[in-house]
A and B are shown apart, each in its own frame.
Chain A
Amino acid sequence: IAGITQAPTSQILAAGRRMTLRCTQDMRHNAMYWYRQDLGLGLRLIHYSNTAGTTGKGEVPDGYSVSRANTDDFPLTLASAVPSQTSVYFCASSVLAGNTNTGELFFGEGSRLTVL
């Protein structure tokens, strides 16, 4: 079944450690996104990529980095995790028509990260 796969589904991490959340889609969507979801704050955009080879900063990019080497993969890296990065992380993809998001986002099932 086509869709978005995230890994790991859950991880407990010591503060200061490096962590990469993986995201792969098989729908050939040009745009991909990383959101974090926290109670009372909804979903906030961390980074996005309109097409392979390009990335952009969202609302809360500090402490995170991304890369988009190809169409299918969009990993999110925490270089040195801190407790405030405890959250549920969602990867999503969509089709961009030009520079406008005219369609739906497809979401993965999320990665629950706990930083101690």
Chain B
Amino acid sequence: SQQGEEDPQALSIQEGENATMNCSYKTSINNLQWYRQNSGRGLVHLILIRSNEREKHSGRLRVTLDTSKKSSSLLITASRAADTASYFCATASIQGAQKLVFGQGTRLTINP
């Protein structure tokens, strides 16, 4: 079964707006990662946040982690048309930390 579940499944916004995607998971984790997938391509790593971290930034990306709620969010600020892609969260659980388990993804569309 999937460890992570993304919300929403699809998101469509105007260029320049901020996009927020959420991820919930079930078991205790070692770390949580976010990936991006352009249509027809492989996944590309965006950012990793460890279980003892609460927030992390990388360029226009901001990730938060709330281990008490078993949830994470990915914020993309000042969105661009090129940000159109699917975004996945993936968790490395404490019990099986050598394997990443992916959620179903959020399909983000940025309208010019």
Residue B67 is within 8 A (CB to CB) of chain A in the complex: no
A31 and B104: CB pair below 8 A? no
Q: A102-B31, A104-B33 given as contacts; is B88 within 8 A of A42 (CB)? A: yes
Pick the most buried of B2, B90, B102: most chain A CB atoms within 10 A of its CB: B102
Chain B interface, DSSP helix/strand/loop, else mixed: strand
Residue A105 is within 8 A (CB to CB) of chain B in the complex: yes
A110 and B41: CB pair below 8 A? yes
The CA-CA distance from A58 to B104 in the complex, in Å, is 17
Residue B11 is within 8 A (CB to CB) of chain A in the complex: no
The CA-CA distance from A99 to B104 in the complex, in Å, is 25
B99 and A43: CB pair below 8 A? no
The CA-CA distance from A48 to B96 in the complex, in Å, is 12
Closest to B46 in A: A104
B99 and A42: CB pair below 8 A? no
Q: Which residues of A contact B100 (CB under 8 A)?
A: 33, 45, 101, 105
Residue A96 is within 8 A (CB to CB) of chain B in the complex: yes
The CA-CA distance from A21 to B76 in the complex, in Å, is 35
A33 and B99: CB pair below 8 A? yes
Residue A103 is within 8 A (CB to CB) of chain B in the complex: yes
Residue B97 is within 8 A (CB to CB) of chain A in the complex: yes
B97 and A100: CB pair below 8 A? yes
Q: In residues 36-67 of chain A, which contact B (Cβ within 8 Å)?
A: 40-45, 48, 50, 58-59
B48 and A100: CB pair below 8 A? no
B45 and A105: CB pair below 8 A? yes
Which single member of A41, A92, A96 contacts B98 (CB below 8 Å)? A96
A42 and B105: CB pair below 8 A? yes
Q: Which residues of B contact A107 (CB under 8 A)?
A: 42-44
Pick the most buried of A41, A43, A92: most chain B CB atoms within 10 A of its CB: A43
Q: Which residues of B contact A105 (CB under 8 A)?
A: 33, 35, 43, 45, 90, 100
The CA-CA distance from A99 to B30 in the complex, in Å, is 11
A30 to chain B, nearest CB (A): 10
Residue B65 is within 8 A (CB to CB) of chain A in the complex: no
Binding site for A on B (CB under 8 A): 1-2, 30-31, 33, 35, 40-45, 48, 88, 90, 92, 97-105
What are 14 inter-chain pairs, A to B, with CB distance below 8 A?
A45-B100, A48-B99, A59-B1, A59-B101, A96-B98, A101-B98, A102-B30, A102-B92, A103-B48, A105-B43, A107-B42, A108-B42, A110-B40, A110-B41
